[in-house]
């Protein structure tokens, strides 16, 4: 698709993430109220919305860091809240996460960071692990920085290094929490291009949390918009569909960078 996200690779009819009637509360405060969504294999699915609407909270439930107060989350067919440790670990090995900071271990070089999940989860010989780590770094354009510590890397390089570690085990699904946060527009665009390239070349399903309109328009093949007042999903579709066809002024205003007109 010129000027935007490429078409998803893989069986688009297969649901790999299913959220059903999810309710999230912090104390007496309800953050998300009975929301449901599906992510299909091979697509780039974006969770968007303004600050405080519950985007990262939703992601934390999808990746199993929090248990829901109500409803269910199934990833690759497994209900994470009901699964045992063995099942949950098996799902985690089939998924990868890029956190906002990149979350690289400061005491390890970049190639050691990328090699870590390979050492923990495979029985591969050490020379093969080192070779695979260099290959993953090459995929994100960082082979030359393999021996650098995280403190020696720019913010964009740290994000790409975190991505190399996230793809170390060839995950079926990649989760991103605000990947462009703290990056300048050019570096953020380069990261978007990398996300698109990995999706197209590997067929990896991507679930991306972001509020950055440039990234949304660039990478999203399908998206949902969360709203803090509604405590749930107020729009779903492609960015163009939400911008042009949503009946809600706040949705159209988000995509057009406009203020919502008071009535």
pLDDT digits (tens, 9 = 90+) for 175-184: 999 998 888 8
Cβ within 8 Å of residue 158, ≥6 positions away: 101, 102, 104, 150
Model confidence, pTM? 0.89
Question: Could you tell me where in the chain the CATH 3.40.50.300 domains are found?
Answer: 1-94+171-263
Q: Can you tell me the distance from the alpha carbon of 49 to that of 209, in angstroms, rounded to the nearest whole number?
A: 9
How much of the chain is helix, strand and coil, in % rounded to 5?
Answer: 40, 25, 40
Please state, in angstroms and as integers, the Cα–Cα distance from residue 131 to each residue in 171, 216, 221, following that order: 18, 34, 33
Q: How confident is the model at residue 36 (pLDDT cuts 50, 70, 90)?
A: very high
Q: What is the pLDDT of residues 81-140, one digit of tens each?
A: 888 989 998 998 899 999 876 688 999 999 999 999 999 888 899 999 999 999 999 999
pLDDT bin (cut points 50, 70, 90) of residue 158 is very high
**Among 214, 142, 209, which Cα is nearest to 185's?**
214
Element housing 40 (H / E): strand 29-40
Give tens-digit pLDDT for 45-82.
999 998 888 999 999 999 988 888 999 999 999 998 88
- Could you report the per-residue pLDDT of 3-29, keeping only the tens digit for each? 445 444 445 679 999 999 999 999 889
> In the prediction, which pLDDT does 5 show?
52
Q: Which CATH architecture has domain 1-94+171-263?
A: 3-Layer(aba) Sandwich (3.40)
> Mean pLDDT for the chain?
89
Question: Are 137 and 145 a contacting pair, CB within 8 Å?
Answer: yes
- Choose among 55, 58, 33: nearest CA to 211: 55
Tokens 């390979």 locate to 118
**In Å, what is the CA distance from 191 to each residue of 22, 207, 219, 227, 258?**
31, 15, 10, 26, 26
The H or E element containing residue 219 is helix 213-219
């Amino acid at each position: 698709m010129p000027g935007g996200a490429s078409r998803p690779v893989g069986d688009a009819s297969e649901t790999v993430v299913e959220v059903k009637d999810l309710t999230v509360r912090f104390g007496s405060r309800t953050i998300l109220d009975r929301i449901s969504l599906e992510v299909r294999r091979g697509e780039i699915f974006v969770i968007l919305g303004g600050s405080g609407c519950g985007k990262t909270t939703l992601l934390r439930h999808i990746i199993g860091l929090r248990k829901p107060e109500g409803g269910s989350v199934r990833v690759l067919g497994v209900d994470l809240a009901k699964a045992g440790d063995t099942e949950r670990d098996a799902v985690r090995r089939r998924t990868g996460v890029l956190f906002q900071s990149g979350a690289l271990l400061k005491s390890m070089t970049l190639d050691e960071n990328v090699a870590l999940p390979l050492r923990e989860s495979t029985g591969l010989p050490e020379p093969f692990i080192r070779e695979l780590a260099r290959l993953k770094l090459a995929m994100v354009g960082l082979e030359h920085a393999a021996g650098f510590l995280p403190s020696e890397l720019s913010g964009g390089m740290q994000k790409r290094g975190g991505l190399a570690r996230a793809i170390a085990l060839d995950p079926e699904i990649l989760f991103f929490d605000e990947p462009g946060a703290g990056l300048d527009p050019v570096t953020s665009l380069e990261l978007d291009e990398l996300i698109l390239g990995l999706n197209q070349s590997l067929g990896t399903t991507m679930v991306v949390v972001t509020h950055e309109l440039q990234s949304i328009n660039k990478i999203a093949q399908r998206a949902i918009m969360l709203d803090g007042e509604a405590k749930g999903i107020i729009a779903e579709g492609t960015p163009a569909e939400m911008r042009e066809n949503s009946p809600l002024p706040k949705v159209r205003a988000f995509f057009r960078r406009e203020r919502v007109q008071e009535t």
